[in-house]
Structure 1
């Protein structure tokens, strides 16, 4: 399965928000996430891996954070 990079604009208002998103992405490493970055300042989440886009989106939404947009970068 090919590796993709996804970029999400996630509404995060505090360090606790970004920690919650990081936590679900860390758990997703067993399901195909190879690396990720969560930037509270820019409210950007980058995820690289073989996991499907919809799965990443669902995991981020499970945190209760609003995903304003998302796209496949590569």
Structure 2
């Protein structure tokens, strides 16, 4: 499994809740670092699929890279 790091422009618990909801649908392991606006995802799915899923939150999302 690969670990991916994303920047997601989250400002509150509601934002991280939106991220949690979309990622739970993919059934992947993830950690949200709200103060640093980062999301770490462990998955076999391609990074572009994860990026498009995170964009469904309506937040600005940037792929930082593999960990």
TM-score, structure 1 normalization: 0.83
Aligned pair count reads 67
User: 2:8, 2:60 within 8 Å by CA — same for their partners in 1?
Assistant: yes
1:26-41 map, 5 Å: 26-29=24-27, 33=28, 35-41=29-35
Q: Distance in 2 between matches of 1:63 and 1:42?
A: 17
Partner of 1:20: 18
Q: Distance in 2 between matches of 1:16 and 1:71?
A: 23
Shift in Å at residue 64 of structure 1?
A: 0.1
Partner of 1:11: 9
Shift in Å at residue 66 of structure 1?
A: 0.5
TM-score, structure 2 normalization: 0.91
User: 2:16, 2:32 within 8 Å by CA — same for their partners in 1?
Assistant: yes
- Bigger radius of gyration, 1 or 2? 1
Shift in Å at residue 39 of structure 1?
A: 1.5
Gaps of 5+ in 1: none
Q: Distance in 2 between matches of 1:41 and 1:6?
A: 18
Shift in Å at residue 72 of structure 1?
A: 3.1
Query: Please, what is the CA RMSD of the aligned residues?
Result: 1.1
| Partner SS, residue 35 of structure 2 | coil
